[in-house]
Structure 1
Amino acid sequence: MSLPQAAPDQQQSTTTNQARQPILNEALSYIDQVKFQFADQPDVYNQFLSLMQDFKIGAIDTPGVIERISRLFAGNPGLIDGFNIFLPPTYPGITT
C-alpha cells in the first residue's frame, strides 16, 4: 500500500515555506534587537515600525526605505547592516 504523493505545487510550497523560515526567524530577531536598542526611545521604535509598514505596502520604495533607515539608525551600524534581511535578494543592500 503506497502513500499518496503530494502534488508538485504542494511540494514546491512546502520547500518554499521551509526556505523562508530562517529568514522569518532572522527578521523577527532583528525587530527584537531594534526594540531592545531603543527601549528608552519608543518614538524611534515606532518610527521603525511605521517605516516597515510603509515599505511593505509600497508607500516607499527600496531606496527610500534605505535612506530613512540609515538616518533613523545613524550611530547604530549593526542595526543598519541587519536591515538587509528586509531588502529584495537582488538589491545590493546597505553598508555602513
Structure 2
Amino acid sequence: MTIAVRKQGEWMSKNDERILELLCSTDRCRPRDIRDELNDFGIALRLDYVDKRLETLEDAGLVASDALRFRITDRGRAYLLGEFDATSVRSPQL
C-alpha cells in the first residue's frame, strides 16, 4: 500500500485540499455548493472564503471554471495523488 505524499505550497490553506477532494468527487460545482457540502461534513466556511480559495486554486492551475462552476483539473488530480509538487507554484495572484 502506498500513501500519496502531497507537497503543499506555502500559499495553500489547509482547506484547499478539502475543496480539491470535493471537486474530485463531482463533475462541476458552484462555490455555494462547495460551502454547503463541506458544512455538511462539519467544516464551516464562509462563501467569500471559498470564492477566494477557488480563485487562488484556479490561478495555480489546480481548478478551472466555466461560468460560475468549478472543476478539478488534471494538475489538481495529480496534486491529490502526490504526483504534482505545489511548492513549484509560487504564490498565485490573489
With structure 2 as the length reference, what TM-score do the two structures score?
Answer: 0.31
More helix by share: 1
More strand by share: 2
Q: RCO (CA 8 Å, sep 6+): is it higher in 1 or 2?
A: 2
Larger Rg belongs to: 1
With structure 1 as the length reference, what TM-score do the two structures score?
Answer: 0.31
